[in-house]
Amino acid sequence: MKPEIRKPTDQERRQAGNWPVWTKEVSEFPWEYDEKETCLFLEGQVTLTNEAGEQFHFGAGDWVVFPVGMKCTWKVTSPVRKHYKFG
């Protein structure tokens, strides 16, 4: 599985402003998505590796959608701050 990574529309950016904020220090950890998550990254940089070994890079300014069932490893290379929404 792959995340969708792109720049947000102005409407998406405004909408995400009402979502909770999650922060994470430089770290590396496994993660599995039991529901879809949509994020707007405000700060930071991440390299994500999926089960197939594919790497994806995203960070500040990116709109990222993680599909339900995705298993991956997050490598936070610069501290992250993001708006997020499940479902």
Domain extents for the chain?
Answer: 4-86
Q: Classify domain 4-86 by CATH architecture.
A: Sandwich (2.60)
Tell me how far apart the alpha carbons of residues 55 and 77 are, in angstroms, rounded to a whole number.
14
Which spans in 1-87 are helix H?
10-16
The model's pTM is: 0.95
Tell me how far apart the alpha carbons of residues 37 and 30 are, in angstroms, rounded to a whole number.
16
- Note the pLDDT of residue 81: 98
- Note the pLDDT of residue 84: 98
What type of residue sits at position 63? Answer: W
pLDDT tens, position by position, 13-65 = 999 999 999 999 999 999 999 999 999 999 999 999 999 999 999 999 999 99
Tell me how far apart the alpha carbons of residues 64 and 58 are, in angstroms, rounded to a whole number.
8
Q: What DSSP character marks residue 71?
A: E
Tokens (6 digits) for 17: 């402003």
